Amino acid sequence: MNHKKTVFKALMACSAISLVITASDAQAFDPYPDISGEMVMELQNEYAFDSDDPAADEQNNMFWRTEVAPTVQFTEKFFLDGVIVLEPVMDFDPGENNFFEDEGVFIEEIKLNYENGPWAVFAGKFNPGFGIAWDFGRGIWGEDFAEDYEITEKIGGGVSYTFETENNGDHTLTGSTFFSDTSFLSESIFTGRGNTTKSDGGASNTEDFSSFVVSMEGENVAGVENLYYKAAFRHLGEGDANMGGDDEQGIVATVGHVFPVSDAVEMDALIEFADISNFDGGNDDNRYITGSVITTIHDSWNVAVGFTKRDIDVNGGADMNDHLLQVSGGYDFGQGTTAEIG
């Protein structure tokens, strides 16, 4: 089955603001606690229509998305960090226009961290790292399909170890174990999305530590500046709701390189492959391949081209084969403000 949709989308504003609160003059001898943070605000407008059916309803959605990421540094090695998100928390109604509807605020991450040399330990609510292509910044829609396999809002902990080499780059091995957040932190305010419960099911919704991710990532690989990679394996326990599936397992591999083309032009190329069986604890097997190239000109203009192919092997039904092609461009006005259209 193929689905085709054409979408025009504009990021009307995207601002990054940093805040740092330091000790008073009377306490200048002791820099802790130190409070800092960043805030990213996006005003998005998305207009969509069905390319295959001109008579189908058009749809326009305008909404805010804001992330606030505070950090409280208690000591040189011990700190608390988190992410607070404002965004629509309910699905848009098909065929209906939406203007700032169903916006809610929730805590996506909040965790305690301890770092000592190459070792790092963390515990709390966090997003286990699996892949890169879902991350914002690879074009307006570059992350949309890859967000299918992003892992978010889990309770648990993990440990990482970073080792540096003289000629082969820096590498970090990370392992974490977790389950879906079913605490009061799974609710949102202003617009309530409802608490997640164990009976909702879904992969890793087990309230035990039967789910885990192991990843390895690095940069400046083999002595090549800004050549980076990430590889990971995931095992997510089947939730309580009977979906007729099994534990989910998946792998992801990413390679990217940031390199100069000239004094004025820089490119960031990435390719990522993900293969996940029993997706979300069901019977379907999902595979994704994403490629993107971002060209930055004079540190101000950017052009991003991205493509993702998504194949879903449906157990007992028609397979689904989707693709997403996006072209976008933008301008950085400085002081953390950009505008993009695609």
In a domain, 1, yes or no: no
Find the domain containing 184 and state its range. Answer: 6-341
Note the pLDDT of residue 327: 93
Residue 298 lies in a domain: yes
Does residue 105 belong to any structural domain of this protein? yes
Contact in structure between 303 and 294 (CB atoms under 8 Å): yes
Q: Over the stretch 129-188, which tens digit does the pLDDT of each residue have? A: 999 999 867 888 888 999 999 999 999 999 999 999 988 999 999 999 999 999 999 999
- The number of helix segments (H) and strand segments (E) in the chain equals 0, 17
> For 200-213, what is the mean pLDDT?
94
Is 47 or 68 the better-scoring residue by pLDDT?
68
pLDDT value, residue 1: 47
**pLDDT for residue 3:** 47
Domain annotation covers residue 250:
yes
CATH number for 187: 2.40.160
The pLDDT of residue 302 is 93
Instruction: Pick the more confident residue, 129 or 27.
Output: 129
Q: Report pLDDT for 262.
A: 96
Specify if 277 maps to a domain: yes
Query: What's the whole-number mean pLDDT along residues 310-335?
Result: 91
Contacts of residue 3, defined as CB under 8 A and 6 or more positions apart, other chains included, come to 320, 322
Mean pLDDT of 201-223: 95
> Per-residue pLDDT for 33 more than 70?
yes
Percent of the chain with pLDDT over 90: 69
DSSP string across 252-302: EEEEEEEEESSSSEEEEEEEEEEEEESGGGSS-EEEEEEEEEEEEETTTEE
Say how many domains are in the chain.
Answer: 1
As a whole number of angstroms, the distance between CA 338 and CA 140 comes to 12
Assess contact for 113 and 251: CB atoms under 8 A. Answer: no
pTM assigned to the model: 0.89
Of 327 and 12, the one with more pLDDT: 327
**Residue 41, in any domain of the structure:** yes
